[in-house]
Amino acid sequence: MLVGDGVFETVKATDGEPFALTRHLRRLARSATGLGLPEPDHDALAQGTLEVLAAAPKWPLARVRITYTSGPGPLGSARGDAGPTVSIIVAPQPPFPATADVTVVPWSRNERGALAGLKTTSYAENALALAYARERGGGEAIFGNTAGNLCEGTGTNVFVVLGGRLITPPLESGCLAGVTRALTLEWCGGEEDDVALDDLYRAEEAFLTSTTRDVQPIRAVDGTVLAAAPGPITAKAMAAFAARSAELMDP
């Protein structure tokens, strides 16, 4: 808890039912393995999530936070030997605005760093970036990577439409393998390809994906208003995601 030596997942719940819980727990296990932690007990975490939701009010929309850390240890960066600690928390989730204004931050994601692609609790960089964006009127902060390509937001993946192509950065860019990102690619099409960070300003359309946002159109990038929000490709993706996610709670 003190040094950010842990991993976590945020799971959306509608009327007390979690969405894509299996995918989230699989990613939690991948993150834990990548951080050198013991693999978490999938069934125990699934059961714990259901018990927490059963004890909570049936909010129309809620977020469940599953946190898995290395456990108690000495002060400093060394790990202890008491074993991992798990916490599961649920809270209501206010709806996001219909569109997002985003701010590109002056710091880069290190696509070759030790934590690249892992959903860890080391979130100070994201907290700083989001504060920077909000000071400038943005609702989300966008990172490039060290190669100068588009990477991700603080808690989102990014899709852009360029020349009629729906594109999202590949995992090799250093972005998180978002659950909503993967479902969007499966259900709505699109392709993975490197995108120069500057191309975000020239996109015909763009949108964010995340567990709690689903598919959210981007209206403006650093004050540069895009041609449409949502544009036709984004609107199609929004409709397809809404329809499929309503049919399948654990896709």
Q: Model pTM? A: 0.96
The whole-angstrom separation of Cα 2 and Cα 184 is 35
C-alpha span between 149 and 225 (Å, rounded): 20
Cβ atoms of 229 and 235 within 8 Å: the answer is: no
The whole-angstrom separation of Cα 66 and Cα 46 is 10
Residues in the chain: 251
112 with 83, same domain? no
Same domain? For 203 and 131 the reply is yes
Residue 1 lies in a domain: no
**What are the tens digits of pLDDT across the range 20-47?**
999 999 999 999 999 999 999 999 999 9
Residue 114, pLDDT score: 95
Closest alpha carbon to 105 in 150, 135, 146, 144: 144
* Average pLDDT taken over every residue of the chain: 97
Do 43 and 21 share a domain, yes or no? yes
Contact 246, 15 (CB under 8 A): no
Final residue of a domain: which of 74, 92, 110? 92
Shared-domain flag, residues 14 and 105 = no
Contact (Cβ atoms closer than 8 angstroms) between residue 27 and residue 40: no
The distance of Cα 191 from the centroid of its chain, to the nearest Å, equals 18
Q: Is 214 in the same domain as 104?
A: yes
Inter-helix orientation angle 21-34/179-188, to 10°:
130
* CATH number, residue 222: 3.20.10.10
243 C-beta neighbours (distance < 10 Å), count: 11
Distance CA 110, CA 239 (A): 34
Q: What is the pLDDT of residues 46-104, one digit of tens each?
A: 999 999 999 999 999 999 999 999 999 999 999 999 999 999 999 999 999 999 999 99
Statement to judge: residues 85 and 43 lie in one domain: yes
For residue 40, the domain's CATH number is 3.30.470.10
Residue that terminates a domain, selected from 65, 92, 119: 92
pLDDT at site 1: 87
Domain that holds residue 233: 100-247
Q: Do 116 and 159 form a contact (C-beta atoms < 8 A)? A: no
